[in-house]
Chains A and B, each alone.
Chain A
Amino acid sequence: SQQGEEDPQALSIQEGENATMNCSYKTSINNLQWYRQNSGRGLVHLILIRSNEREKHSGRLRVTLDTSKKSSSLLITASRAADTASYFCATSPPGGGNKLTFGTGTQLKVEL
């Protein structure tokens, strides 16, 4: 069953704008990860945030995690047309191991 749900399902913005995607999950986690998937390709790992972390940055990406609300957000600043893709959050359960359960995904379209 799906662990996470993402919001919005689809997002269309202009190049240069910021894009925010939200992920909610149901059970305790060890870590939460964000992945990008270009059409017809595999998933590419973006950021991993552990359950004891609240915020992480990588280039134009900023991820927050609120374990009390069981939610995370991914912010892409100054978006580019090349950021057009589907974005998935994925959670890893407590107790070690690295099995992931993926959220429903957000389709981002960045227009010129």
Chain B
Amino acid sequence: DAMVIQNPRYQVTQFGKPVTLSCSQTLNHNVMYWYQQKSSQAPKLLFHYYDKDFNNEADTPDNFQSRRPNTSFCFLDIRSPGLGDAAMYLCATSGFSNQPQHFGDGTRLSIL
């Protein structure tokens, strides 16, 4: 089945130690998104790619970076994680317009 896969499902890192979360898709969608979701809150969009065009949300901290080396893969890099960055990180994909988004099961990030 075509899907969006996030690895790992659970990630523990130390305060200030860089961490990378990965996302892959077999849907061949042009658009990929990264969301941050804190407990009992709505997902908050961090950034998204239209093909290779990167679009950052205005309130996304500089600490968060992303890479999309090809259509299938997208990475979220957190350069110096703080305690406030502990959250579920969700990757999603879609077509260009009027299309639903397809989500992975997320990576739950804990900061020690």
What residues of chain A have their CB less than 8 Å away from a CB belonging to chain B?
2, 30-31, 33, 35, 40-45, 48, 50, 88, 92, 96-105
Contact = CB atoms under 8 A, between A and B. Distances in A.
Interface in B36-59: 41-45, 48, 55
Contacts, number: 62
Nearest to B98: A31
A98 B94 contact: yes
Interface of B: 4, 6, 31, 33, 41-45, 48, 55, 90, 92, 94-106, 108
A7 B43 CA distance: 17
Given A40-B106, A48-B99, A104-B42, 11 more contacts: A42-B6, A42-B104, A43-B43, A45-B102, A48-B100, A88-B42, A97-B97, A98-B94, A98-B99, A104-B41, A105-B41
B42 A102 contact: yes
B100 A45 contact: yes
Nearest to B96: A98
Contact of A41 (B33, B48, B105): B105
B100 A103 contact: no
The listed residue with most A CB atoms (<10 A of its CB), out of B33, B43, B94, is B43
